[in-house]
Structure 1
Amino acid sequence: MVADRLWRWSLAGQAIALQILVITLIVVAGSGLALLDARQDGDAAAEAQVLGIATSLADSPSTAQAIIDGDATATLQPVTELVRRHTDIAFITIMAPDRTRYTHTDPSQIGGRYLGNIEPALHGESFTEVYTGTLGPSIRAVVPVHDADGRVIGLVAAGILQQSLAERWRQQWSVIAAVGAGALAVSLVGVWGIRRRLLRQTRGLRPDELRVMYDHHDAILHAVSEGLIVLDRNGVVLVNDEARRLLALGPGPVSVADLPEFLQAADPGVRDELHVTDERVLVVNRARVPDSGSEVVTVRDRTELQGALGELSSLQVLADSLRAQAHESANKLHTVITMVEMGRPAEAVAVATRELELSQRLVDRLSEAVSEPALVALLLGKTAQADERGIALSVTEDTQLPADVALTGQELVTVLGNLIDNAMDACDRDDPWVEVTVTQDADALRIIVADSGTGMDADEFTRAQRRGYSTKTGDGHGLGLALVAQVVHRHGGTLSTDAGYGSVVSVVIGR
């Protein structure tokens, strides 16, 4: 039950619970180790103390002299008791090699036999041991007393009761406990701060919820049909599969320098901005993520839609042209009927056939010279559209396009339709004319559109190809020349302009 409730906690709750458990165990274990270390240090210090005291007394000439003179108890008992009281140890016993005590803390024990191990000292070695004697368990040191000839004539034993050591050790408990409690309190405060930060960053979600969210997030990134790029102050954080496809990005990490130029500069807030690359027409949206400094960029492919829109625009132009011609034909028909009613049939026939002959002659010439039906329809439609706008649009006699064309019908419509539209928009209003030439020989396909306008300088012409620049709106959203440049660059052709004879834009695509 406890485990089930724990797994229902948020990630922050589970992490903090585990941290509190680990910190508590560390503090408790550390305090225990500190107590054990303090005890071991106390025992080592006690051994060193009693060994030092016993050695000092054994090396004192007065000790050996008193044993030799036979008045060891009278001479040494006051001295050992004085030293014992000043050093706060349990006992100092001086004895003969046969264990007979000369001195003892309890005078009644003098003359009795010393309890404990003395064999190493009888062989001239000092040593320490833990032994239970008449006063209780103690840590004691035994040091031999030598005469002038180096013989062992007595032994000095000094000891500290383990009970006294335990009391000293217990006095350190409060300090160690206070330090441990302080460390635990500081750790818990830090853990609480971490918990609040984790709650903010994980939105209070559980680990399984975060895992499911990540799995869904990863699946969506791979399945979504829009390109998605996430940028932050350090560069590109994320690029999904569709974005790599649309922007021609290779596998592996992506840097800002790898992105197209229009994505390298931060520009949040962009909505449905059109950009033309060498292969595609892209719709870009950008938005900043609140409180994170990150920016999300979405990229949609509009290439096929743009082509369909171009074809639809051509059909619309043709439909408008047919509608205008129908309206004009109705006017002419009324005129012819009226002239017949007036009894002037010969003149009525002349009026009826004059415009029909001109129109039919243009249709026949274009149909014979141009083998692409879509291009014929486009030129006829643009001619009618230009006539409505009062612009003289002419297709030169040099225009000749065989069946084997370097561009598809849709590409021809895109290139020529946009060039003619730009020319009609840019021609001089006082002398509006547009001239179109489309030829193809063994070397290349050439499309030339001239108009009576002033044209664009080199920088403006380059900018128009790169960003869909528009001289009409000035807002950077024109696509005409950019779409033309896209088709031309795709086929390895050239796009140039010349202002020597009005404004002339030329497209050359090698075969």
Structure 2
Amino acid sequence: MRGWSLARQMLALQIVVVGVTVAGGAVLAFLQAGELLRDEAAGTARAVTVSVADSPSVLAAMGDSAALQPYAERVRRETGVDFVTIMSVDGVRYTHPNPAQIGRRFLGNTAPALAGRVFTETYTGTLGPSVRAVAPVRDARGRVAGLVSAGITIDKISARLRGQVAGAALIGALGLSVGGAGTYLVGSRLRRQTHGMGPAELSRMYEYHDAILHAVREGLLLVDTSGTVTLCNDGARELLGLEGEVSGRHVTGLGLPPSLAERLATGENLTDEIHMTGERTLVVNAAVVRSGSRSLGTVVTLRDHTELQSLAGQLDAERGFADSLRAAAHEAANRLHTVITLVELGRTEQAVAFATEEIKAAQQLTDRVVGAVREPVIAALLLGKSAEAGERGVELVITPDSGLDDIGLDARDLVTILGNLIDNAVDAAMAGTPPARVEVRLRADETAFLISVADSGQGLDPATADEAFQRGWTTKGDGRGLGLAMVGQAVRRLGGTIEVGSAAGAAVTGAGGHGGHSGNGAAGPGAVFTVRLPLRGKDVR
């Protein structure tokens, strides 16, 4: 049996169990039926014996065989016993089914009956082994005047037992057939479900399955058609920040971002969708598993896109720097051509004045940014964003009280936060009433680093303040917004908070993330985003 499949082993085992059960039941039924038939025969013999012994006609005809024999035979035929024997106190028979035995002594025990008691026994007489009863016949004074015995032969009892055993055997065979058929159906189903594999193969598959689930870094979830998680590997626990038992819980009860939980609960195919969690950016894929036309659930894979998204943000910043340099070079070429033309026209004094003014303005911006912000990455970002905003017709102003040294925070997160806030502010300012203006303030004290970005746009609707930091939110209505979601994620990663406000209302600090408007709740002209990031023992100005 070692090489048999699990289904075949189960089939053989179940057939053995059913066979043993049916056989044991049949033997038990046979023994019980034999006991019941013996008890029934003893009860019948006792009842007939007592009835005959109590009959007045028997007492009156005691000793007269010619009168007693017809009576005894009639009682025997009517009651179904094999013999009714009436005898004297000495055991001499007055009646017997075989008339030749009349006048001979009774074969059996009579002492208890002579003592006045009715008793039963199994004894071998002239008709063979029988279950019999013996009772005394009493006269008017209560003395024993004779004896009566009636009995049923063992052969007759055995014949009845064989008839019952045949019926029990038929029922047992029917039960065995039904049990065998049921066992075969269960085995067939088990064979389909195990694909004909044996216990060793199933055990090995489980070990491989378990090892793979724990080894892969990508997250893996199995979600059934009702949205309940049936499997979650270590990678998914880590990427989604899940704790405790996950299997058996609905995806909406795992504490996931609403957009991600809603997408997983739909049971639809997903391809490379970007979703933001507390501190991670995930690429989510989902495939519906089907058996024929029936859906079995959804296989969900999760890949950590956080580092790649951060690098993409840096690439966007570098691309912005390059665009800014290209715009600056283009503008410088225009001004250079202007200076050259003025010189060629002989207006050297005007050429010198024009060039001096342009150099002075550019140098002032550079000196102000570099002097205030000594973090080179942030300084380069601000210079690039200033040039880009100027090219788009927006004035980017760095407040005079801004100042920043090395504060020990991750420059990549700072670029993500500041770059996205400035980009959104420039877009909002361009959509507002001219002149378009964006104001940036950077300050650090002993405990926190403050980033404030304000614009001259239409402001942010208080009803959408909380939604602004969710993936896909955008004022453009295309559902592709990621900037503010990445800002919120970076702020949470650094343990900071975001305040959203306007000229018409004070801001509310969002615990561990973002907040909405307070005050009178009216959307004022322009929005103000304020980020507070805690410092960790660094030297700040």
TM-score range, shorter chain: 0.7 to 0.9
Shift in alpha-carbon separation, 1:443–1:40, aligned structure 2, 3 A? closer
1:502 to 511, 516, 526: 526
Does residue 129 (structure 1) correspond to residue 121 (structure 2)? The answer is yes
Higher helix share: 1
Partner of 1:55: 50
CA contact (8 A) 2:137 2:145 kept: yes
Letter in 2 for 1:280: R
2:15 to 13, 20, 36: 20
Please state how far the C-alpha of 1:200 moved relative to its aligned partner: 4.0
Please state how far the C-alpha of 1:332 moved relative to its aligned partner: 5.6
CA contact (8 A) 1:267 1:286 kept: no
Please state how far the C-alpha of 1:369 moved relative to its aligned partner: 0.5
Please state how far the C-alpha of 1:378 moved relative to its aligned partner: 0.8
Letter in 2 for 1:464: A
Unaligned runs of 5+ in 2: 503-522, 536-541
Partner of 2:108: 116
Partner of 2:266: 267
1:373 to 376, 383, 402: 376
CA contact (8 A) 2:459 2:525 kept: no
Distance 1:363 1:424 in 2: 20
Please state how far the C-alpha of 1:62 moved relative to its aligned partner: 2.3
Please state how far the C-alpha of 1:134 moved relative to its aligned partner: 1.4
* More displaced 10-residue stretch of structure 1: 457-466 or 148-157: 148-157
Distance 1:173 1:458 in 2: 89
Distance 1:239 1:88 in 2: 77
1:30 to 25, 30, 35: 25
Shift in alpha-carbon separation, 1:388–1:484, aligned structure 2, 3 A? same
CA contact (8 A) 2:394 2:430 kept: no
Letter in 2 for 1:500: G
1:213-234 deviation line (CA, Å, top 9, x unaligned):
2222222222221223333338
Distance 1:205 1:480 in 2: 52
Does residue 237 (structure 1) correspond to residue 247 (structure 2)? The answer is no
Distance 1:197 1:292 in 2: 20
CA contact (8 A) 2:404 2:442 kept: yes
* More displaced 10-residue stretch of structure 1: 162-171 or 275-284: 275-284
Letter in 1 for 2:278: D
Please state how far the C-alpha of 1:342 moved relative to its aligned partner: 7.6
CA contact (8 A) 2:87 2:147 kept: yes
- SS of the residue corresponding to residue 457 of structure 2 reads coil
Shift in alpha-carbon separation, 1:510–1:341, aligned structure 2, 3 A? same
Does residue 258 (structure 1) correspond to residue 254 (structure 2)? The answer is yes
Does residue 228 (structure 1) correspond to residue 223 (structure 2)? The answer is no
Letter in 2 for 1:31: A
Distance 1:345 1:234 in 2: 78
Does residue 317 (structure 1) correspond to residue 320 (structure 2)? The answer is yes
1:402 to 402, 405, 418: 405
Does residue 8 (structure 1) correspond to residue 4 (structure 2)? The answer is yes
Distance 2:360 2:113 in 1: 144
1:17-41 deviation line (CA, Å, top 9, x unaligned):
3223222322233233333332222
Please state how far the C-alpha of 1:449 moved relative to its aligned partner: 1.8
Distance 1:135 1:397 in 2: 133
1:193-220 deviation line (CA, Å, top 9, x unaligned):
4334334433343333222222222222
- SS of the residue corresponding to residue 471 of structure 1 reads coil
**Matching of residues 321-340 of structure 1 within 5 Å:** 321-329=324-332
**Matching of residues 188-203 of structure 1 within 5 Å:** 188-203=180-195
1:447 to 451, 455, 478: 451
Partner of 2:240: 247
**Matching of residues 24-423 of structure 1 within 5 Å:** 24-67=19-62, 70-71=63-64, 73-232=65-224, 233=226, 235-252=228-245, 255-256=249-250, 257-262=253-258, 263-265=260-262, 266-268=265-267, 269-290=269-290, 291=294, 293-329=296-332, 354-404=357-407, 407-423=409-425
- SS of the residue corresponding to residue 427 of structure 1 reads helix
CA contact (8 A) 1:139 1:159 kept: yes
1:411-437 deviation line (CA, Å, top 9, x unaligned):
221111010111223332573443322
Distance 1:427 1:331 in 2: 27
CA contact (8 A) 1:485 1:495 kept: no
Partner of 1:457: 461
- SS of the residue corresponding to residue 381 of structure 2 reads helix
Please state how far the C-alpha of 1:50 moved relative to its aligned partner: 1.0
1:49-91 deviation line (CA, Å, top 9, x unaligned):
1111111111212223323xx32x2221111111112223221
Please state how far the C-alpha of 1:48 moved relative to its aligned partner: 0.9
Q: CA RMSD in A?
A: 2.9
- SS of the residue corresponding to residue 387 of structure 2 reads helix
Letter in 2 for 1:418: N
Please state how far the C-alpha of 1:130 moved relative to its aligned partner: 1.6
- SS of the residue corresponding to residue 172 of structure 1 reads helix
Distance 1:495 1:246 in 2: 27
1:453-502 deviation line (CA, Å, top 9, x unaligned):
22321222211213341233532x42211222233345242321315343
* More displaced 10-residue stretch of structure 1: 407-416 or 178-187: 178-187
CA contact (8 A) 2:458 2:525 kept: no
1:134-165 deviation line (CA, Å, top 9, x unaligned):
11111111222222333333221112111112
CA contact (8 A) 2:42 2:131 kept: yes
Distance 2:272 2:153 in 1: 90
Letter in 2 for 1:25: V
Distance 1:480 1:250 in 2: 29
Please state how far the C-alpha of 1:373 moved relative to its aligned partner: 1.2
- SS of the residue corresponding to residue 137 of structure 1 reads strand
Shift in alpha-carbon separation, 1:483–1:495, aligned structure 2, 3 A? farther
- SS of the residue corresponding to residue 105 of structure 1 reads coil
Distance 1:53 1:346 in 2: 155
* More displaced 10-residue stretch of structure 1: 268-277 or 331-340: 331-340
How much identity, in percent, do the aligned residues show?
Answer: 49
CA contact (8 A) 1:370 1:376 kept: yes
How many residues of Structure 1 are paired with residues of Structure 2 in the alignment? 501
Shift in alpha-carbon separation, 1:234–1:77, aligned structure 2, 3 A? farther
- SS of the residue corresponding to residue 467 of structure 1 reads coil
Partner of 2:518: none
Partner of 2:476: 472
Shift in alpha-carbon separation, 1:300–1:362, aligned structure 2, 3 A? same
Shift in alpha-carbon separation, 1:325–1:428, aligned structure 2, 3 A? closer
1:271-330 deviation line (CA, Å, top 9, x unaligned):
333232332223333333323553333333222222222222222222333344445555
Does residue 481 (structure 1) correspond to residue 481 (structure 2)? The answer is no
Shift in alpha-carbon separation, 1:151–1:242, aligned structure 2, 3 A? same
1:80-123 deviation line (CA, Å, top 9, x unaligned):
11111222322122222332222111111112222122232222
